[in-house]
Structure 1
Amino acid sequence: MSDARSPLSPAEPAERVVILDFGSQYGHLIARRVRELGVYSEVLPHNAPLAQILRHRPRGVILSGGPASVYEPGAPQCDPGLWHAGVPVLGICYGMQLMVHQLGGRVARAEEREYGPATLEVEEPGRLLAGLGPRLDVWMSHGDRVETLPPGFTVLARTAASPFAAVEGGGGRWLGVQFHPEVGHTPRGREILANFLYGVCGCRGGWTMAGFVEEAVPALRRQLEGARALCALSGGVDSTVAAVLVHRAIGPRLACVFVDTGLLRAGEVEEVQESLVGLGIELRVVDARDRFLAALDGIADPEAKRKAVGETFIRVFEEEARQLAEELGPIPFLVQGTTYPDVIESGGGAAATIKSHHNVGGLPPDLAFRLVEPLRYLFKDEVREVGRRLGLPEAVVQRQPFPGPGLAIRMAGPVTAERLERLRACDRIVREEIRRAGLEGRLWQAFAVLTGTPTVGVMGDRRTYGEAVAVRAVTSGDGMTADWARLPHEVLDRIARRLANEVEGVNRVVYDITSKPPATIEWE
């Protein structure tokens, strides 16, 4: 059936704040910070109509930053009706400039750009900067600045290069800051956001993962209405938490299926089976290795790989559902561990599509299930907390993320059985050495990549022609941004030596020291 998505919304939180995303790399971070402060938040596209925004009954609206200049033709705008909706609005960076621009002020190219730390001099704190003192360290990232304020606006604070670094208008309902309170480089940014949420918007707080779990189970029970469901369980924290939530709601009416795609890491099937022992969930393992390899035959484009894997996943589940239906009766629902970053990166918000996650952008239009996605609006750290609330083992909760398309997107170029075995061996060595060094719990992910780059080497006094392998290790809070991990040199040395000595066809190893942004965590 088409248009079959039926995600679980988090039980209509009593309070919510809407973030309008203007293409900022930090839009998701604003949402996380708001949630950390006890208020549910959701990201909408910058051009969302006012009616769509108001359907969320927001206590406040936050306009994110963005790369554009408000005075350029075609620059992103928000619905101008927002200014007359009676909802408090906080504009951050581009969001502040847009507020000024739409309400009659002037924004222009700055003679002196501000990128990095700056000192905020508070002139009149108002409610936004109340209790924070006369000076604040803030983080700037802009090449434009406000030159004149709209009628009725006042200055709250300035920096050496920005005479209007924090402003207020509209009787205190419209607030703007040129800096980024959502990033860690603004030490008291959380307090500024808290002042907006509680001092300006009148929020009371109360959004917690304990509350989510308490409301999610009965909401799932209502959504499924006595029907059976099939869960796409990969063994990762997302799908496992989703499965346990649904199992709490409908019990044995949930059938969990694990597909061996042949794109998995060494020992993955056994690890997944062991991780579910004691959870009361029965797991059916489907061997579809040959089918996935055939679906990927000759495909080199990363997006095409993701879509091929996504569609093959669904077809396998449809066939498994038909077999189960013969035994148990109709199964109209498919449970997935889709999370908010999956949706955002797949172009489900305002951001451009970074990569199509197989469980979002890779889904076919004629999907024969209604989707149940209880984690669709949660960030990864929230999913982990839900897992703890459900009593899952810490080994499951802290399991490093592994992409749904698996090793297919950790090798540049076509996927072959030979390259899969090579990459599996490389990945096993990287994971073993990270674990041996006691670093696993400190890293978001650590893995090997077949770069597809041919490289000349010398081994045993002979010239070799092999493939360069890249090692990638990052630290992160939610996977939306990440920093490359400063692994000890001796660990990198052991990894490089083992890869060259133990894996046929590898004669060069490089370490990826690129953060996200500008790179993504995965190479494809």
Structure 2
Amino acid sequence: KCGWIVQGTIKADVVETIGKIKTQHNVLTDELLKRYGLKVIEPVIDLYKHEVRALAKQLGLPKWLAERQPFPGPGLLVRTVGKLYREKLELVRKATAIVEERLNGRGYSQYFPAIWEHDILDKGVMGDIEYLVFKVKATGVIDGRRIYGHPVMVRRYHQVTDIYTFYRQFNSENYPHVLLQLREKEDGEFVIAIRIVKTEDYMVAEVPRIDIYKELKELAEELLSLPKIKAIAFDVTPKPPATIEYE
């Protein structure tokens, strides 16, 4: 019988759970531990992600381990936004392999795809921006509290516009994630969102300013070739108001 659990819980997990920004699977309550008769060992619970990486390097762990990509405890479930079924899960699994292969070694803190249905709730024009609002909901964080809102995808905009400020033109309470469409085709059922961030503590995160049409062109084309994919978009929203993940 197992009496102890060893977990890699870090400080950000605890802060976000207590603040009800996200519910982390690895932040266990005293009541839950008592119910199952378990005790927990959490050796890095007082450290943020960048401090854990520094400790790993100090201990002499290999680079591939010390700098590995963060992966959510619930797995790809949280990147299969909205309804969950096998076909959708397999698509995000294939997309993850493609994204990790193409973006590895570029110095980004975290990079991954998420997928949801191309079901439109609304569409509109605001100045020189043409956009779609999806029916699905994703998480955001404002003033230390969790919110749920609809992702927005900007389809057309004036070329001199600073794409990294798009999110400021939308009400983050209702639209916590703003994305820029990279590629599209006539048929298909799903959207793949490419998420890239730079951060130290994962409590706040920036979207790196890159030449998206140059650096993400081939990636977008390869993702668009997956079955039933209709559009590829790049999330340009920092944390806050968006969360890094979508669930």
From the CA coordinates, give the structure whose radius of gyration is larger: 1
The aligned counterpart of 1:514 is: 237
The aligned counterpart of 1:379 is: 48
- Matched length: 182
Q: Which residue identity does 1:444 align to in structure 2?
A: S
Q: Which residue identity does 1:446 align to in structure 2?
A: Y
- CA deviation profile, 1:412-465 (whole Å, cap 9, x unmatched): 112222111100111111112113xx41xx11111101033337x985xxx523
Cα distance in structure 2, aligned partners of 1:405 and 1:362: 18
Q: Does the CA-based 8 Å contact 1:454-1:465 persist in structure 2?
A: no
1:471 is aligned, of 187, 191, 194, to 194
The aligned counterpart of 1:342 is: 13
Q: Does the CA-based 8 Å contact 1:338-1:376 persist in structure 2?
A: yes
Deviation (angstroms), 1:486: 2.3
TM score, norm. by length of structure 2: 0.68
Cα distance in structure 2, aligned partners of 1:364 and 1:468: 40
CA shift in 2, pair 1:504/1:362, >3 Å: farther
The aligned counterpart of 2:177 is: none
Deviation (angstroms), 1:383: 1.1
Cα distance in structure 1, aligned partners of 2:108 and 2:196: 7
Deviation (angstroms), 1:485: 2.0
CA shift in 2, pair 1:449/1:418, >3 Å: same
Q: Does the CA-based 8 Å contact 1:345-1:353 persist in structure 2?
A: yes
1:395 is aligned, of 64, 72, 80, to 64
Q: Which runs of 5+ in 1 are unaligned?
A: 1-321, 323-330
CA shift in 2, pair 1:345/1:423, >3 Å: same
Q: Does the CA-based 8 Å contact 1:356-1:362 persist in structure 2?
A: no
Q: Does the CA-based 8 Å contact 2:117-2:189 persist in structure 1?
A: no
The equivalences for 1:24-173 within 5 A come to none
SS at match of 2:119: strand
Cα distance in structure 2, aligned partners of 1:449 and 1:412: 7
Cα distance in structure 2, aligned partners of 1:372 and 1:363: 13
Cα distance in structure 2, aligned partners of 1:419 and 1:458: 18
Q: Which residue identity does 2:216 align to in structure 1?
A: L
- CA deviation profile, 1:197-223 (whole Å, cap 9, x unmatched): xxxxxxxxxxxxxxxxxxxxxxxxxxx
- CA deviation profile, 1:257-279 (whole Å, cap 9, x unmatched): xxxxxxxxxxxxxxxxxxxxxxx
Q: Does the CA-based 8 Å contact 1:426-1:448 persist in structure 2?
A: yes
CA shift in 2, pair 1:363/1:399, >3 Å: farther
* 1:446 to 2:111 alignment: yes
* 1:332 to 2:3 alignment: yes
The aligned counterpart of 1:487 is: 210
Question: 4+ residue runs of structure 1 moved beyond 6 angstroms?
Answer: none
Cα distance in structure 1, aligned partners of 2:77 and 2:93: 11
- CA deviation profile, 1:257-307 (whole Å, cap 9, x unmatched): xxxxxxxxxxxxxxxxxxxxxxxxxxxxxxxxxxxxxxxxxxxxxxxxxxx
- CA deviation profile, 1:65-117 (whole Å, cap 9, x unmatched): xxxxxxxxxxxxxxxxxxxxxxxxxxxxxxxxxxxxxxxxxxxxxxxxxxxxx
Q: Does the CA-based 8 Å contact 1:346-1:361 persist in structure 2?
A: no
Deviation (angstroms), 1:360: 1.0
Q: Does the CA-based 8 Å contact 2:81-2:116 persist in structure 1?
A: yes
Cα distance in structure 1, aligned partners of 2:232 and 2:61: 37
Structure number with greater CO (CA < 8 Å, separation at least 6) is: 2
1:360 is aligned, of 15, 19, 27, to 27
Q: Does the CA-based 8 Å contact 2:184-2:224 persist in structure 1?
A: no
The aligned counterpart of 2:149 is: none
- CA deviation profile, 1:172-214 (whole Å, cap 9, x unmatched): xxxxxxxxxxxxxxxxxxxxxxxxxxxxxxxxxxxxxxxxxxx
Q: Does the CA-based 8 Å contact 2:118-2:230 persist in structure 1?
A: no
Cα distance in structure 2, aligned partners of 1:483 and 1:401: 16
Q: Which residue identity does 2:13 align to in structure 1?
A: D
Q: Which residue identity does 2:59 align to in structure 1?
A: L
Q: Which runs of 5+ in 2 are unaligned?
A: 121-182
CA shift in 2, pair 1:362/1:482, >3 Å: farther
When the two chains are superposed, the root-mean-square deviation of aligned CA atoms in Å is 2.1
Q: Does the CA-based 8 Å contact 1:484-1:513 persist in structure 2?
A: yes
CA shift in 2, pair 1:361/1:510, >3 Å: farther
Cα distance in structure 1, aligned partners of 2:29 and 2:88: 23
Which is helix-richer, 1 or 2? 1
The aligned counterpart of 2:156 is: none
The aligned counterpart of 2:146 is: none
CA shift in 2, pair 1:432/1:362, >3 Å: farther
Cα distance in structure 2, aligned partners of 1:361 and 1:520: 22
